[in-house]
Structure 1
């Protein structure tokens, strides 16, 4: 397995690489993970081999000994041995190659055109959402992300606030948390007793705290900073609604699954891969539109029966995305890669 980023990072590629590596081992595979991520100061033991920043000679030897090479998101800097060895190769798309509507210079267009051509050489391509599958040519199987089901679940010892709203994620401009604060401020005077809990940290935190202070939300809003997954799950269990207000189209949005598994209704910006991640029981609002978000928040908070029904359906949605389901589908794709190597694609 090739993962351009890995532990100690905590992003989607890093987490899914570990989940899939462990899952493939349960299927009886021998797994090695090759990554560009340097060895961290605080080491961690893995049940599989992790090779960090290999020399060209070692990278070539590792690819040569493999029965199949799996890129968990394309890592072009680690691809070159495949041009010489023509090993069975599978690629999983987890992030945009180019963002929708992204403006590119002539040099960038040439660079990304070459990257697309390299990806097209894979024997099997999978993507974690329909929109990612649609932005490359050819036959692409959609295998949605899973969530860490041992960490996110409904807890019997937490009391859920019926008017509790939460955000869980990075506090950066592209995540659109300012839209959520603006929408929540419009609820003041309409919905008595609601609360907004913001979990996460990032470069926009100070600006967002200032915005919240000026918005009239008062004690209704709380910033908790970054939290570990166990505490994040407890916070989700204390709330009824989770908002994902992303300005930029997310490739997927695993936080939607985590929220659903914790028994929350998700309101999401209706673009990118979020509709796939959130499910049909979730509520989409017009991206970049705080008034649309306010309207949907107000409607849900005013209708506890609707919230209860959607929370029940959210658990069903989460159960369809457990780790073992994703692992089994990926392993089936790995087996198909071995059978179809060299067929149907211009290698």
Structure 2
């Protein structure tokens, strides 16, 4: 089978679409498929070699030829700028939603409403539509299969020999206003007097780092909070293995939240803002709090830090949750959906 995987963003850019595109391309090859990738992302200064062909910023003629030569076209998140040949030639087409088309509650101008209505209509022409969470699936019409993201299981796991701090809390991710790390600092500062030895480790970088460091500096956390900056996956896994809780305090609803799987694989209990796709990513053993409310987050943390037996049980369930989301599980489900796309070709919902 010849699969053309379309990824608007790809290596050297880093993110969910980029990582899953590589995982799926390699996984489809293990199933015996001939895979080619097209992307709008330019090459890095030091090019990386892939086991499959990658075409960057294809010309219109090259894009048309690649699609004409494919058995199935697979958009790993809709890339409308790379879609247009499908309006001219009939090819089995599958699309995965990995990000919101429009954010829940987003206010749109008339022009934006027209633009996104057209995008929703184009997505609706696909033969098979997949989303990585129920929240994403519910924001488009019709039948949408939910296939959760995987995580990089070659990097994230429980390690032998690492001493886990029972009162250790971690944030892992981008430092920007929408991620809600200020809510975590506020909630954690209120724990200091009641839980001797509580610590907060913040892993990541971004535009809000200076503000967050200043906020932590005037809080009661003192030297109990550390900003470690961005870390590679191996070191991030070691940090997770040295702590017990991971907090995902996002202000905006995440489409999924792969960091929840990485944390679970490393044996941490996840505490998450209860909206968007985070409930799917975090699992039933994780603990939810009311989004945007630091008092709710503080209560969730207190409940866990004060009950180590509960934490231990949730940690065991967390590892089992992560095992159900390993790369091979996601790849196999996606390949089955690709095969279904071939059989359902021509049955797009708005034809």
Task: Count matched residues.
Answer: 347
Out of 98, 111, 120, the position equivalent to 2:124 is 120
Using the alignment, how far apart are the partners of 2:96 and 2:83 within structure 1? 14
Q: 1:124 to 1:304 in 2, by over 3 A?
A: same
Is 1:300 equivalent to 2:304 in the alignment? Answer: yes
Say what the alpha-carbon RMSD is for the aligned residues. 0.5
Query: Are residue 340 (structure 1) and residue 348 (structure 2) matched?
Result: no
Q: Separation in 2 of the partners of 1:102 and 1:199?
A: 29
Q: In the TM superposition, what is the alpha-carbon distance from 1:346 to its structure 2 partner?
A: 2.5
Tell me the residue number matched to 2:242: 238
By how many angstroms is 1:340 displaced?
0.6
**Alignment partners' CA distance in 2, 1:177 and 1:160:** 22
| 2:186 aligns with one of 179, 182, 205 | 182
Distance 2:185 2:241 in 1: 21
Look up the match of 1:60. 64
Equivalent residue number for residue 141 of structure 2: 137
Q: Report the counterpart of residue 78 of structure 2 in structure 1.
A: 74
Q: Please name the residue that 1:148 is paired with.
A: 152
User: What corresponds to 1:13 in structure 2?
Assistant: 17
Q: State the distance in 2 between where 1:278 and 1:108 align.
A: 32
Q: Give the Cα separation in 2 of the matches to 1:148 and 1:9.
A: 16
Deviations 1:74-108 (A, max 9, x none): 00000000001110000000000000000000000
Equivalent residue runs for 1:320-335 within 5 Å? 320-335=324-339
* CA deviation after TM superposition for structure 1 residue 262, in Å: 0.1
Q: Tell me the TM-score normalised to structure 1 length.
A: 0.99
Of the three residues 79, 91, 101, the one matched with 1:97 is 101
Specify the alignment match of 2:112 in structure 1.
108
The equivalent residue for 1:33 is: 37
Mapped contact 2:167–2:244 kept (Cα < 8 A): yes
Match of 2:175 in 1: 171
Unaligned runs of 5+ in 2: none
Q: 2:259 aligns with which of 255, 258, 262?
A: 255
For 1:223, the equivalent position in structure 2 comes to 227
* Cα deviation, residue 344, structure 1: 5.1
Which segments of 5 or more consecutive residues in structure 1 lack a partner in the other structure?
Answer: none
Residue 343 of structure 1, CA deviation: 1.9
Indicate the SS of the match to 1:256.
Answer: helix
The 1:304/1:271 distance shift into structure 2, 3 A limit, reads same
- 1:85 alignment partner, SS class: coil
Residue by residue over 1:4-34, the C-alpha shift from the partner in whole angstroms, topping out at 9 and shown as x without a partner, is 0000111000000000000000000000000
Shift of 1:299: 1.0
The alpha carbon displacement at 1:314 in A equals 0.2
Q: Which moved more, 1:133-142 or 1:337-346?
A: 337-346
Per the TM alignment, residue 158 of structure 1 is displaced from its structure 2 partner at its CA by 1.0
CA displacement 1:297-316 (0-9 Å, x = unmatched): 01100110000000000001
Offset at 1:345? 2.2
2: CA distance between counterparts of 1:233 and 1:188?
25
Provide runs of 4+ in structure 1 moved above 3 Å: none
**Cα contact 2:256–2:280 (8 A) shared by 1:** yes
**TM-score between the two structures when normalised by the length of structure 2:** 0.98
Cα distance in 1 for residues equivalent to 2:213 and 2:158: 29
CA distances 1:119-164 after superposition (whole Å, capped 9, x unpaired): 0000000000001000000100000000011100000021100110
Q: 1:46 to 1:344 in 2, by over 3 A?
A: closer
* Residue of structure 2 equivalent to 1:83: 87
Match of 2:290 among 276, 286, 293: 286
